[in-house]
Amino acid sequence: MLRMTGIGKSFLGVRVLDGVDLEASAGEVHAVVGENGAGKSTLMKILAGVHTPDEGTIEIDGRSVAFGHPIEAQRAGVAIIYQELTLLPERTVAENVFLGREPVRRGLVDRAAMESATGELLSSLGEESFGPRDLVRRLSVAQQQVVEIAKALSLNARIVVMDEPTAALADHEVELLYTLVRRLTGRGIAVLYISHRLPEIFELADRITVLKDGARVTTAEASSLDTATLVRLMVGRELDSYYPPRAAEPPGEVMLSVRGGGNARLHGIDLDLRAGEIVGVAGLQGSGRTELAKALFGAEPFTSGEMTPCRPRSVREGIAAGIGLVTEDRKAEGLLLNQHVRDNALLVARAAGTRRPGIERLLERVRLTPPRPTQEVRLLSGGNQQKVVLAKWMTVAPRVLLFDEPTRGVDVGAKAVIHELMRELARDGTAILMISSELPELIGMSDRILVLRDGRIAGELPAGATEEAVMHLAAAS
Amino acid sequence: MTQQLKLRRGGAEGSFLRRLSADRPARAVYVALALLIVLGWLLFALDGGRFLSQENIVGIQQRSAALGIVAVGQTLVILAGSLDLSVAYLISLTSLVAAEIMAGADGGVPAAVAAVLAVSATVGLVNGLIVTRLRVHAFIATLGVALIIRGALDERYDGPAGSVPESFQHLGYDRIGPIPVSALLWAAVAASAWLLLSRTRLGYRIYAVGGDAEVARLSGVRTERVVIAAHVLCSVCAGIAGLLLASRLGAGAPTVGTDGGYDLESIAAVVLGGTALAGGRGGVAGTVGGVLLLAVLDSIFNQLEVNSFAKDVVRGVVLVAALAIYARRRRTT
């Protein structure tokens, strides 16, 4: 159905794609994987008409096409669902689905037709939790994805590109997405699926194409590959183990302790964080994971309970008490995207008024590539951006460092670096709390795991607990 | 106010109520308006007057009409994510164009109206092109156009000029029952804008472009055209206001727009009505409420003979308080 041949593209003289071939047939899920910077996004944007290729051809159903504008790609049946959703929060579901193509009757927009058509699309996707008249801003991220997919279907899309669709979803929502993807392929739609999460890829994909440094490494049947092989193909080397070894010594003194901590979203939180250990936090979306980190940090403080060394009432108090937070959304909450690496890395140190550490040494320590302090942060890959966030906190040497989804949207290579850095920090005596919705990461990294449910700690599991045990605690009613 | 609500209800098969109730800031401004009317009634009663006298209501409607028409246009550009600071000078310009072409003769009216619409549409087109093609921020683009118009006015005029025939002055002064013709004109402009926003493709796209221009672009909306169209419509509204003011004055005047403060005041009315200054959220219903709120406030001040400095202080406080309340409500929903 789709055949892209010899696609090449350069930006400002930098070759980002070099002779890449990709094909997809009707009803197939074709995963495209590779580290950040491998060229996946550029390839998909070429398919969607956002960029024009310097060389190479695109054929759809045997006919050669060239897209100068996203609309032309849409008309040819290509829909792309971006990582950052492209919906208008202040408009209704129906208005979003038909944006730019509103049905008109006697010169006026035919709301009734628009809403009933949207309703039909939603029910064909098995979606009953919201309707065509709901405002998009009141929907969850997962529901918004359904809206995006409905929009793609209303365009009669035959090739649907999904760019990191699960990045912002909780585990139970991921299952719903799988169902949706299978509904799409059941209709004979070809799905191009881009993800960093290898388990998803093996769950869904029929074929896998691996990109590295702008070139295609291979295309293979998913059943002929395993995780280790795939990782080796992506990074070009065997990662002997995914996760760095746990600490050899038992954890040290208690760096932070909470008894009966509570606020509007959290109840009766008891926990101790010790020097040298990494404590994992699991829980479904809405269980209070992020709220816990923000309460410990002072961003959304506890209103009751005891906390030592102190119960921070504000972020400044939290930082003064030696607590740092690597936020879930690094673009919105972690970084000043238009500023240089140096200004970002020194943000906390400057605000706290501590002595400035040597920036070059710091950037080398977090393995920023290249370690240039004068680069604008928005130009860095997700992995490098996260390293800058880490550097920002390392300038003040916090006693306790809280990580909320430390490797979301980060490629495999950078992920390993961040995991190693977390272990190093722990070894140097920092107490670490890590929230992750990626269970393998949680289990691989944590010395013990706290499971949250409805704002309470539902239980604690030792290192090496199974995914089933975690899920059981997180989801039990 | 009531006659406008009726017009809209009739035209939209009940969807007006649904949309208005979904539009919480618009509802809030009408609640505030109702409270202010009660307050005004009490103050007038204590002062020995009658607030809801016909004279007073007519006064409020007449004061509102010109600002109301400009503010409706301003709503369109603000919803599209832009802004127009040139409306005040454009009003002066169009009042002069109208009065000079009419030159006191009945026969000149059609040509004058056509010329005003053409001049204002052209200014809107220029604003729109500067904002979209030259990518100058609307604040600066329309400020620049405002200065250009001012320069032209200062060069040619140092006082009122031209004259309007008596037949055209009916627009400014006549009434049908208790309703001034100017209020009907405002109602018609507001109703058309409401229909445009809620029932036409252009209206939908104005919301889309103001909400997120990139999202709109990726959905196939030609965003530049939408912004240009909004600017043209806004300027045409200012031209209509210019005609109305010329009819009131009996002549054109180079300061009629700026004396009325129509630039900033129209923006104030729009945001008071709950439309987001960043675009993409709000509507005409709120703006109408915002204009009426300002007019009722004015009429209370007049009755109480408050001095103009205190007036401005209170208006400033009302505006800031209203926006603080909207910001708070949005955070909690």
User: Residue A120: what pLDDT?
Assistant: 93
For the residues A439-456, what does the mean pLDDT come to?
89
Answer yes or no: do B200 and A71 touch at CB < 8 A. Answer: no
Answer yes or no: do B216 and A99 touch at CB < 8 A. Answer: yes
State the nearest Cα–Cα gap between B120 and chain A, in angstroms: 25
Partners of residue B220 in chain A, C-beta under 8 Å: 70-71, 74, 99-101
**pLDDT tens profile A252-284:** 899 999 999 999 889 999 999 999 999 999 987
Q: A114: which residues sit within 8 A by CB, 6+ positions away?
A: A94, A95, A97, A98, A102, A103, A132
Best A69, A88, A139, A161 member to test B by mutation, with max B CBs in 10 Å, is A88
Q: A401: which residues sit within 8 A by CB, 6+ positions away?
A: A323, A324, A325, A326, A393, A425, A430, A431, A432, A433
**pLDDT tens profile A41-61:** 889 989 988 889 999 999 998
Q: Range of B204's domain?
A: 2-332
Answer yes or no: do A88 and B212 touch at CB < 8 A. Answer: yes
Confidence of residue A36 (pLDDT cuts 50, 70, 90): low
User: Residue B237: what pLDDT?
Assistant: 98
User: Residue A12: what pLDDT?
Assistant: 64
Q: Does domain A2-235 have CATH number 3.40.50.10860?
A: no
For the residues A300-321, what does the mean pLDDT come to?
90
CA distance B141 to B127: 7
Average model confidence (pLDDT) for chain A?
A: 87
Pairing of strands A431-435, A207-212: unpaired
Pick out chain B residues at pLDDT < 70: 1-25, 331-333
**pLDDT tens profile A413-441:** 788 889 999 999 999 999 999 999 877 88
Residue A133 has pLDDT above 80, yes or no: yes
User: Residue A97: what pLDDT?
Assistant: 93
For the residues A139-154, what does the mean pLDDT come to?
88
Residue A238 has pLDDT above 70, yes or no: no
Confidence of residue A241 (pLDDT cuts 50, 70, 90): low
User: Residue B25: what pLDDT?
Assistant: 60
For the residues A220-231, what does the mean pLDDT come to?
86
User: Residue A463: what pLDDT?
Assistant: 87
Report the topology of domain A254-475.
Rossmann fold (3.40.50)
CA distances from A67 to B223, B244, B247 (A): 19, 50, 54
Residue A306 has pLDDT above 60, yes or no: yes
Answer yes or no: do A102 and B204 touch at CB < 8 A. Answer: yes
User: Residue A371: what pLDDT?
Assistant: 81
Check CB contact of B201 with chain A, cutoff 8 Å. yes
**pLDDT tens profile A187-214:** 899 999 988 777 888 989 999 999 887 8
State the nearest Cα–Cα gap between A91 and chain B, in angstroms: 8
CA distance A227 to A437: 19
Best A81, A91, A134 member to test B by mutation, with max B CBs in 10 Å, is A91
List the domain boundaries for chain A: 2-235, 254-475
pTM value is 0.75
User: Residue B89: what pLDDT?
Assistant: 97
Answer yes or no: do B280 and A90 touch at CB < 8 A. Answer: yes
Q: Which of residues A169 and A178 earns the better pLDDT score?
A: A178
Partners of residue B215 in chain A, C-beta under 8 Å: 86-88, 99
CA distances from B180 to A250, B185, B295 (A): 86, 9, 15
Evaluate whether A314 touches A301 at the Cβ level (below 8 Å). yes
Q: How many domains does chain B contain in total? A: 1
**Chain A to chain B Cβ contacts (< 8 Å):** 59
User: Residue A364: what pLDDT?
Assistant: 87
Residue A126 has pLDDT above 60, yes or no: yes
Evaluate whether B143 touches B85 at the Cβ level (below 8 Å). yes
**Residue B218: which of A70, A90, A101 has the nearest Cβ?**
A70
User: Residue A453: what pLDDT?
Assistant: 87
User: Residue B70: what pLDDT?
Assistant: 97
Question: Which tokens hold the place of B18?
Answer: 């649904």
SS3 annotation, chain A = CEEEEEEEEEECCEEEEEEEEEEECCCCEEEEECCCCCCHHHHHHHHCCCCCCCEEEEEECCEEECCCCHHHHHHCCEEEECCCCCCCCCCEHHHHHCCCCCCEECCEECHHHHHHHHHHHHHHCCCCCCCCCCEHHHCCHHHHHHHHHHHHHHCCCCEEEEECCCCCCCHHHHHHHHHHHHHHHHCCCEEEEECCCHHHHHHHCCEEEEEECCEEEEEEEHHHCCHHHHHHHHHCCCCCCCCCCCCCCCCCCEEEEEEEEECCCCCCEEEEEECCCEEEEECCCCCCHHHHHHHHHCCCCCCEEEEECCCCCCHHHHHHCCEEEECCCHHHHHCCCCCEHHHHHCHHHHHHCCCCCCHHHHHHHCCCCCCCCCCEHHHCCHHHHHHHHHHHHHCCCCCEEEEECCCCCCCHHHHHHHHHHHHHHHHCCCEEEEECCCHHHHHHHCCEEEEEECCEEEEEEECCCCHHHHHHHHHCC
**Residue A90: which of B211, B217, B220 has the nearest Cβ?**
B211
State the nearest Cα–Cα gap between A86 and chain B, in angstroms: 5
Best B215, B224, B332, B333 member to test A by mutation, with max A CBs in 10 Å, is B215
User: Residue A438: what pLDDT?
Assistant: 79
Residue A359 has pLDDT above 90, yes or no: no
Of the candidates A441, A439, A432, A427, the one whose C-alpha atom is nearest the C-alpha of residue A471 is A439
